[in-house]
Structure 1
């Protein structure tokens, strides 16, 4: 990594300056009635930037803006202008995204810290090449793309963004000008909510155009650096997972039919990529006894691309390729063997599934379905059965369920889905769908219910070729995880299942809901400790435990400095694989282009190697440090619990934030809360709208609330120096605090300072503001930093420029919310304004909290 000052200068030159230059092209965008928008927005920015810190409300700022800079008199005219300003700023965001993405290769060197090349040189100098090689052969990273879009441009806008990025890399002003004009005329808003199938199509775009190439190149680089032609790497380094079409949790639109369609789409998509790739192979392998078999294989792939019931299977493709390879070696002196091997390697990695489709459902839904099935066929009410009776019924049923025997839609569809999974495995390969995740897991029956579903649908024990994965996400679920897994490991029927699964147990841990439920430090610490406990009991039971982390984009949902987080995990946590969810704007901002994807896949993968082979003292947490973190977690948890218990907590979110509007924006297929239309309850609230609403307020409460109080309490007790040492010596704690600092850097309380005088919510706002100030002050004190994100010049520069772009948008949004709050006669129009500005802010935020 280049030094801090040089990076800041470089960012200023190739990102900020370019943005200012190309931004001037917006002046000529072909908007209807928008000739002066580009000149008006800086005035609104100045009014906001000066007025908000002085205590002016967004209403005062907007009113002053219209009086000083326009001659618009009617409310309708003013509303019209604000909508057009939102449109304009949305497109400014796209331009900035494209410029920043285009600059990525210039801001990150190929051999910087965490790269494969840097690890090779370190291993070579320390005599650890053999250890690294052995670790690589036994280590995989799984990146799972989720069905939670927190940034969802329509496909045509995504294509413009890609073209714009390419034009910027070429510095082609004429192309940029034309693309900006196209952008000006292209709608940004989906007319309808995307379906789960639409979401699948959107992410498959990246599978085909980015990840197929990126992962292949990474695999080749690992082979070239650490292995030889005689002894090549044979295990995958990166595996891809896929949730759109399989994630049923709270999404009534994911049905058995959708799951089948998405599985078929994944199969068809990889065949199309193979077809194109084989054309390149055929251009070189034009030899006798080689070209004809290659043509036959390509013809077969072409035929199956358009046949939903195609009969091509992975073993057939592999055997054909191996025969061709043998001929190439024996008859043609291995000429262009590397080109054929490159294709064979992709087939090994991506199979006929491209990315493994995961199935996920909430434990409460499973319980409901199981209860109905059991009562239907046995007349037994499971609520009245003993634990042993339940286990016998669930694992050794005397019936086979038929979906036609039931009326309730969720029961019928669940049964249909379980039946079809066997067919998907047959067509796409076993890895095409082989994981079933249970949200809100708290007891052994949450896992056994899924085992029972397979048995109820006629699967024999040996046919259940699925990893059944509990997802522990609430504080209660995390607390009970040890008991749950201990019972499962000692249950004979489940022991036998794990034997058939190669004695491996995957367990998912949910950062998003954990933070929502328990606050920032408590959730992260509980997940860390739970991993340690589950690592220990799994080892005692001779089970290889694999942790799958449900992490969102922002720190408040477990995101932030992800690579550093994994590199800082010590020997007390099982490190067989890194598995992580990637969602929303994290897909586009971190994995959206070839250079970004390669860099971030590589950094994530090497984090696991670093923590195992090169683990330092900072990755070990001493007993004294544990006591300290535990105290911080306990104090901050109580502070957060007190906040949740405040009578204004939910009303504040409902009435003063954008919470109610997340479900109305057409950015995702999933409802913003579980439980349908019933009254809002905290436990039903989704993490994304919860965290996102705080983000739109520029308050980002889940990312730091309670941190300041906890550190201050230890300071009062005379332990501040110990906390400073903890920041210095513990990689886990340092990463935790740095991520919290990122949340605070994106916080701007002057935007909502008018709320302090609100009769209903003034006191509550002050509680939030005071904790922010305390957290910022004490995080700076323990770190020794003079400013937030001091050691992250690129991220900080990006955050600051983005915040500058969207400040007028945020002012408009708060103005509209205030109008709604005071029952404006044009309430519906202002609600539309909130949704439009919300959409723009989401896309601008990328790592949105």
Structure 2
């Protein structure tokens, strides 16, 4: 096997091993050789030759392990007893290499796409260009397209995650390295220029090396809010408005005569600061900070853009025609030195009104202010109206080319982001709602023991309360700390809605929703906050239409979250029952008959395993689509996906196309988490590609037949029904029925350390118990990922396939046919194969050695190993391939090239876990564990 080396003065640090399709991958190899070589030089020069040699030896031995030249135990022995002050820089070196390898791979994908475009090849699947072609071929009626896109929305919802803890400096340094590498690749440099770029790269990689990857103190939710807002400045503020403008223009060209996409289709959401399910750190102050910080971010952007427009639009009235409306807008500024520059004067006034708006909406004094005593804009529509005047005047004067630049981008940004920037969802567990309602009812004399009532009695009481106008809470009311906090958070949300508009907090999500009373409890709490009112009371506290409407109105959607397999199965009946309540249906009618439902990927997987959870979700969507059709509502599904396959992750384009017919219908919301956010949205090119993929899949799923089963659908559904039962039984046999499993899990993985070290602001469990059901999904999945077992992404599936086929060749053929024609089944299999390719049971066996009870260790690890082997065997049989990544060459290349570099991180994590659990007081031990978690998460790219 050919080996390529990048030599530094004293040796070799990182190198690439040859892979198939060498010509296509050579630029990637060159990039990694360059970055790895610079990193190696940096390690040697700043950590010392001894550390450099240790890193180099670990690298060489890791590749020898992959080539089966040495046993893993020999490599593990190398780290046994290694002083912690030497282990930490080794961990840092391999973690930095993973980060740089990610960067190089992203640039290579960008490079390959550009080659395809320049070669005039057909547009690639998941691009909007390819989607437009498919839509054109389908010859759709404009009216049908308009109907399907009536509630058009694609909303990536940013959520906090313990592995996304990188410092702003690290984030910005990565961006600078990306730009330097992009410049180096695209520019014909002479020797001197290339040396200058390489010197700049060395400077940035040294900055990276000298900057701590993670924080010393525990991450606060305030830090997570700030981190989430980075992506707006990095990409969203530029890319989302641009994409919305292009979408509207192209679709209206394709389907004339209907006003498509009046509202922006791509709009951002966030959970950071509003999701208090199991997170005691979310308070009223945090909700206020989240909404205020978001508003400040977008208002600063607007102020800067208007200031730039003032500088650019020095057009003279002596040289171009100007509309009367523009002159009227300019009349507010009577500056003599700008007498013949009406555009500047008009923008000066817009600037002043924006300043007044910012002063009113956010507490901090923003940069770029212009205080002229102007009145504030009361709504984004007023700002947009003034900008439209400027736009219309430019176009009427023949200056449309100028209008199509910064001004057009700003107008589209206002349509996309309003004054709120990003819609903050509020979420709380249904148990907390019940406890809060019980206290309120008891204090108000409604009922002394609400929790003791049966479901029908609760519903009757809640409906009666929704019919009244009176509040439950009066002066002098005293409640428990939890209820006081809940009321405070709801009041903060109401203030944000009143100040920033209904888009600021449009959704109220109910975790672990199982009944009609769960949904009506949320409605009563929103009523108590003044958000839900009768329409003829002058409108809810929402800025909604001043025209009185009969019945109840609320600016927030009440969104049930169905999480466990049983709850998913009961989702449609629950929705039918709540829509039969006249008061609730009034709320839906006030929303144009739109009802959002959230589906939980994480807890359903933890509850029943990979295959059973995926099928429960598909079945739930089928049932919900039928329910929506029969009840006359428009259904919007919100997919609570995590980054990893065990939490619904995997390629988004394929996942959306794999939804059942009618499940998308022009709108889609999905959560984006942790290291996945950086991988998708860290800079404009990445963000554009990934957002475009979401939109392309949404359009195709809404307007085309993507299921492909036809008359065979019911037979396919029956097969998956049977497989899901078998898979859940096999999964439950291990996770829920094997004595000692919890001990094995908590001992053989870093789950305890995820909870005890400074990782994320949220506790690792909803309750302080040792039950798997109470553990949050992120640490559950993350722990199995770090230990390289990847159990949530495959366990139970192989056993289900094997038992269902049971040696019958005709049954195996049925599964093969499903794989060939059904996108859902293809996606399930492909994502599982990705997990299996990233798993490594040799390394997992090292983690299992942390379990002191040998009998327990052998039993549980033996079950895992057997299922792992069985699942791979059945995957090969069904797909008729012997390559887990045959359909994903980019991931195959990544796994082949980078996984030997993960080996030292795993061995060092095990070693440091031993020391930490043995009571080693050195704080560097804890630091090292945290760094291994961060490094492995970076390298795996979807660890939790």
TM-score over 0.5 for the pair: yes
Residue 300 of structure 1: aligned partner: 353
Shift of 1:615: 1.8
- What does residue range 188-587 of structure 1 map to in structure 2 within 5 Å? 188-228=213-253, 233-287=261-315, 288=317, 289=327, 290-305=343-358, 308=362, 311-313=376-378, 314-329=380-395, 336-339=402-405, 340-378=407-445, 380-397=448-465, 399-401=471-473, 405-458=477-530, 459-462=532-535, 463=540, 464-573=554-663, 575-587=665-677
Determine helix, strand or coil for the equivalent of 2:756.
Answer: coil
* Deviation sequence 1:599-642 (CA, Å, 0-9, x none): 11111111122123332463656111111111111111000011
Structure 1, 834-843 or 549-558: larger mean CA deviation: 834-843
Determine helix, strand or coil for the equivalent of 1:471.
Answer: strand
Higher RCO structure (Cα 8 Å, ≥6 apart): 1
For 2:103 and 2:225, the matched residues in 1 are separated by: 23
Determine helix, strand or coil for the equivalent of 1:431.
Answer: coil
* Equivalent of residue 106 in structure 1, options 89, 108, 111: 111
Residue 779 of structure 1: aligned partner: 875
Structure 1, 521-530 or 418-427: larger mean CA deviation: 418-427
Structure 1, 616-625 or 530-539: larger mean CA deviation: 616-625
1:23 equivalent in alignment to 2:23:
no
Residue 748 of structure 2: aligned partner: 656
Evaluate the alpha carbon distance shift between residue 305 and residue 799 of structure 1 in structure 2; reply closer, same or farther with a 3 A threshold.
Answer: farther
Shift of 1:805: 1.8
Residue 175 of structure 1: aligned partner: 200
Structure 1, 461-470 or 331-340: larger mean CA deviation: 331-340
For 1:683 and 1:65, the matched residues in 2 are separated by: 36
Structure 1, 281-290 or 358-367: larger mean CA deviation: 281-290
Which ranges in structure 1 are unaligned for 5 or more consecutive residues? 67-74
For 1:832 and 1:760, the matched residues in 2 are separated by: 30
Determine helix, strand or coil for the equivalent of 2:856.
Answer: coil
1:737 equivalent in alignment to 2:814:
no
* Equivalent of residue 635 in structure 1, options 709, 726, 735: 726
For 1:234 and 1:50, the matched residues in 2 are separated by: 59
Structure 1, 472-481 or 688-697: larger mean CA deviation: 472-481
For 2:766 and 2:225, the matched residues in 1 are separated by: 22
Residue 61 of structure 1: aligned partner: 75
Shift of 1:468: 0.3
* Deviation sequence 1:745-784 (CA, Å, 0-9, x none): 1000111335489333111101001100110111011111
Evaluate the alpha carbon distance shift between residue 34 and residue 442 of structure 1 in structure 2; reply closer, same or farther with a 3 A threshold.
Answer: farther
* Deviation sequence 1:140-171 (CA, Å, 0-9, x none): 21111112343220111111111111112123
Structure 1, 507-516 or 231-240: larger mean CA deviation: 231-240
Determine helix, strand or coil for the equivalent of 2:560.
Answer: strand
For 1:306 and 1:104, the matched residues in 2 are separated by: 44
Residue 69 of structure 1: aligned partner: none
1:152 equivalent in alignment to 2:165:
yes
Shift of 1:364: 1.1
Shift of 1:330: 5.0
Shift of 1:275: 1.8
Residue 71 of structure 1: aligned partner: none
For 1:477 and 1:532, the matched residues in 2 are separated by: 14
CA contact (8 A) 1:144 1:241 kept: yes
Determine helix, strand or coil for the equivalent of 1:36.
Answer: helix
* Equivalent of residue 133 in structure 2, options 111, 121, 127: 121
CA contact (8 A) 1:569 1:619 kept: no
For 1:335 and 1:695, the matched residues in 2 are separated by: 52
CA contact (8 A) 2:726 2:799 kept: yes
Evaluate the alpha carbon distance shift between residue 769 and residue 372 of structure 1 in structure 2; reply closer, same or farther with a 3 A threshold.
Answer: same
Query: How many positions carry a matched residue from both structures?
Result: 833
For 2:662 and 2:141, the matched residues in 1 are separated by: 24
Evaluate the alpha carbon distance shift between residue 258 and residue 479 of structure 1 in structure 2; reply closer, same or farther with a 3 A threshold.
Answer: same
Determine helix, strand or coil for the equivalent of 2:503.
Answer: helix
Evaluate the alpha carbon distance shift between residue 53 and residue 337 of structure 1 in structure 2; reply closer, same or farther with a 3 A threshold.
Answer: closer
Shift of 1:306: 5.6
For 1:184 and 1:333, the matched residues in 2 are separated by: 50
When the two chains are superposed, the root-mean-square deviation of aligned CA atoms in Å is 2.8
* Deviation sequence 1:783-820 (CA, Å, 0-9, x none): 11221111111122123333222111111112333455
Shift of 1:392: 4.2
Shift of 1:558: 0.2
Residue 812 of structure 2: aligned partner: 720
For 1:406 and 1:703, the matched residues in 2 are separated by: 47
Evaluate the alpha carbon distance shift between residue 173 and residue 522 of structure 1 in structure 2; reply closer, same or farther with a 3 A threshold.
Answer: same
TM-score, normalization by structure 1: 0.92
For 2:816 and 2:596, the matched residues in 1 are separated by: 36
Evaluate the alpha carbon distance shift between residue 371 and residue 41 of structure 1 in structure 2; reply closer, same or farther with a 3 A threshold.
Answer: same
CA contact (8 A) 1:520 1:702 kept: yes
For 1:668 and 1:825, the matched residues in 2 are separated by: 23
Evaluate the alpha carbon distance shift between residue 197 and residue 124 of structure 1 in structure 2; reply closer, same or farther with a 3 A threshold.
Answer: same
CA contact (8 A) 2:601 2:647 kept: yes
TM-score, normalization by structure 2: 0.83
Determine helix, strand or coil for the equivalent of 2:881.
Answer: coil
Evaluate the alpha carbon distance shift between residue 402 and residue 639 of structure 1 in structure 2; reply closer, same or farther with a 3 A threshold.
Answer: farther
